[in-house]
Amino acid sequence: MITSNPKQVEAFIDRFREANPLKDPGIATRPVMVDSFGDSSDMADRLLALVLDGTKTATCSALWAWEHDNETPLVPGTLAAILDGAGNARCILETRSVTPTAFKDVDEQFAYDEGEGDRTLKWWRQAHWDFFSRTLPEIGKEPSEDMILLCERFRVIYSEE
């Protein structure tokens, strides 16, 4: 997980609330979680670039990791300020859908929508297996074909690019 630059992130979220791109009268009280992609600064920057150019419109996390790191469930409408590798907020995402899916059941369309590598299911499976093999042991878990992933589709609702 990337360490955030708290003052920059807070100011970014304040500008998002002021812009109110969702025209939500409750935007000032709607929670915005702070998150980043991947498990390194380089990966955070690389995946964020795919989000900002519109290539990456989906992501996933192991349910075990989500429950370990978050107090609330991931649901449609969740807002997240996404950090770059330096810990600065670069965009706000809104979760459009969340589909719990076993690793072995992730399909080609989801792999393509994640926008990574050559966008094939074969590439997706290897890269994500490697990722979960690195990160899940940190919380006492091991990846399996049956592990449940939270397959999330999102949209960028605010950026200052």
**Is there a contact between 63 and 148 (Cβ–Cβ < 8 Å)?**
yes
pTM: 0.94
| Angstrom distances, CA of residue 144 to CA of 74, 101, 120, 132 | 21, 12, 20, 9
Burial class (CB in 10 A: 0-12, 13-18, 19+), 77: exposed
Say how far apart CA 62 and CA 39 lie, in whole Å: 13
Average pLDDT of the chain is: 96
The tally of domains found in the chain comes to 1
Q: Is residue 1 a part of any domain in this protein? A: no
Q: Is residue 120 a part of any domain in this protein? A: yes
**Each residue's pLDDT tens digit, 62-73:** 999 999 999 999
Strand locations in the chain, DSSP E? 32-35, 58-62, 79-83, 89-102, 148-159
The CATH code of the domain that includes 54 is 3.10.400.10
Which residue matches tokens 């670039």?
49
**Each residue's pLDDT tens digit, 114-150:** 999 999 999 999 999 999 999 999 999 999 999 999 9
Structural domain span for residue 70: 6-159
**Is there a contact between 131 and 37 (Cβ–Cβ < 8 Å)?**
no
